[in-house]
Amino acid sequence: MTIWLILIIFGSIMIIEALPLFIAPLKMKEYYRKIADSDPRTLQILAFVMMITGLVIVFLIRKKICL
């Protein structure tokens, strides 16, 4: 893996993360407020599920199973 691939992946993540803020900033502020009021344990479980899902997707793509 080259540094260029890492930079492309990093840039893509930044674009995806910024899109909702650009498209609907007021809705995102409301969403962030809901997150701040949420139970920390619930957020931790959600983050864990998202990490596992991401790992499975990366594994499947690297093994060329889902393409």
pLDDT (tens, 9 = 90+) of the chain, 67 residues, equals 688 888 898 999 999 999 999 999 999 999 999 999 999 999 999 999 999 999 998 888 888 776 5
Whole-model pTM over 0.95: no
> 37 with 30: CB under 8 angstroms?
no
Distances (CA, A) of 18 to 35, 54, 60: 17, 19, 26
Domain-wise residue ranges, the chain: 3-62
Q: Which residues neighbour 66 within 8 Å (Cβ) at sequence distance 6 or greater?
A: 57, 60
